[in-house]
Amino acid sequence: MTLDGERAAPAAPSDAAVDAADVTSPEPPPRPRLPPGVRRVLQVLVSLTVLVAIFWYVFQQVAGVSEVWAAISTLTWREAAVLFVMTGFNLFTYWMVVVTATPGLTYPKAAVLTQSTTAVANSVPAGGAIAVGLTYTILSSWGFSKARATVSVVITGIWNNWLKLALPVVALALLALQGERGGGQLIAALLAVGGLVGAIVVFGLVLSRERFAARVGLVTGRAASALLRLVRRPPVHGWDLAVVKFRNRVIGLVRHRWIALTAATILSHVALYLVLVTALRVMGVSDDEVGWAAVLAVFAFARLLTAIPLTPGGVGVVELALIAGLVRAGGDSAQVVAAVLLFRMLTYVLPILLGALTYVVWRRKRSWWSDAAPPLPPELTFSGAG
């Protein structure tokens, strides 16, 4: 300010100052991005490289092809029939989860939806995201609104991931109770249980209190923005509104079907685990060699690895984790490799083949296509339902 109290006009910057500002504070250049086609080719190459390296290691370092084939050749038709029955029951449990999370969906439609999207997720790089898009497309063709499809996708994802996190904890606790693991691991398991319970409590509070839901959105949004700043990305906005909107959509379904959802999700994971146990037993890996609790622990930690999408459906990665864990637990190398390959043929390859058929069914069965799905029961209605 001047001596008489008037605000002075700011001095015009010199040319040198402008040049210096241009030099010292340049705009960060936009990061170059690869074209989608190039990214897809790179994803395929990475997946193939990982897959070839893993199977080369297994057949060179763990068990030879001839040994594995000799073990598989011992399979009788009765044992094969038992495996197919267990596999069919496992597939049916997935349909149960989807029917429970998607009011108005019938079991035949759930079979078509689940198998078609599973085939995409298991066979295409970044297939999980594509499978979600296909879920919306199929449900939309049957008259389900985007809001109802979103509830189904989100709720099944939450329940499935919670159980994936809980299974290793349960397995370690069972091993500790059997005396096969030390007290330190039991303590770690109990701490993990506490963390899981904490997450469930937060989820319950989000559903029960709208203001708490908004607060969770604000806190997580700030945390996400802080992480994005580290990689020079813009902050996120509106997460409080998004969490409140999510709460309003799922509250009715969760309030009235959380027990059925939990039971169906547990049953689907147990059914998948039983296919693995059955494959091990028919291949000659006895309970004395690898007990059921040890199999559960290996199975649970291998399932966690599918969260890292190195390959479609975790192919190669899951096999290596199962084989390494089961052999270390005491199983015969050739028998374990044979059992794991049988397990993955039934639970990974077979669903892809079935999915190709169900996709054709969806495209051709136009009698199922509709402009409006069956209405929601009054107790399950939510904001934006349709």
This prediction has a pTM of 0.76
Domain range for residue 289? Answer: 70-371
How confident is the model over 136-141, as a mean pLDDT? 94
- Mean of pLDDT over the chain: 78
DSSP codes of every residue in 122-166: HHSTTHHHHHHHHHHHHHHHTT--HHHHHHHHHHHHHHHHHHHHH
Query: Can you say whether residue 375 is alpha, beta or left, with left for phi > 0 and alpha for psi between -120 and 50 degrees?
Result: beta
- 21 in a domain, yes or no? no
Q: Is residue 305 part of a domain?
A: yes
Q: 40 in a domain, yes or no?
A: no
Statement: residue 39 has pLDDT above 60: no
Question: Which pLDDT value is given to residue 2?
Answer: 40
Mean of pLDDT values over 104-125: 91
Q: Bigger pLDDT: 267 or 161?
A: 267
Residue 31 covered by a domain = no
354: helix, strand or coil:
helix
Q: What is the pLDDT of residue 74?
A: 85
| Average pLDDT over every residue of 350-372 | 91
Burial 148-161 (b: 16+ CB within 10 A, else e): bbbbbbebbebbbe
Q: How far apart are CA 383 and CA 386, in angstroms?
A: 9
For residue 386, being part of any structural domain is answered with: no
- pLDDT, position 43: 54
Q: Is residue 60 part of a domain?
A: no
Counted domains in the chain: 1
Q: Mean pLDDT, to the nearest integer, of 361-368? A: 92
Higher pLDDT, 339 or 58: 339
Q: pLDDT band for position 223 (50/70/90)?
A: confident
pLDDT bucket at 261, cuts 50 / 70 / 90: very high
Task: Taking residues 186-200, report their average pLDDT.
Answer: 68
Amino acid at 156: T
In a domain, 58, yes or no: no
Asked whether residue 12 is domain-assigned, the answer is no
Distance CA 302, CA 130 (A): 23
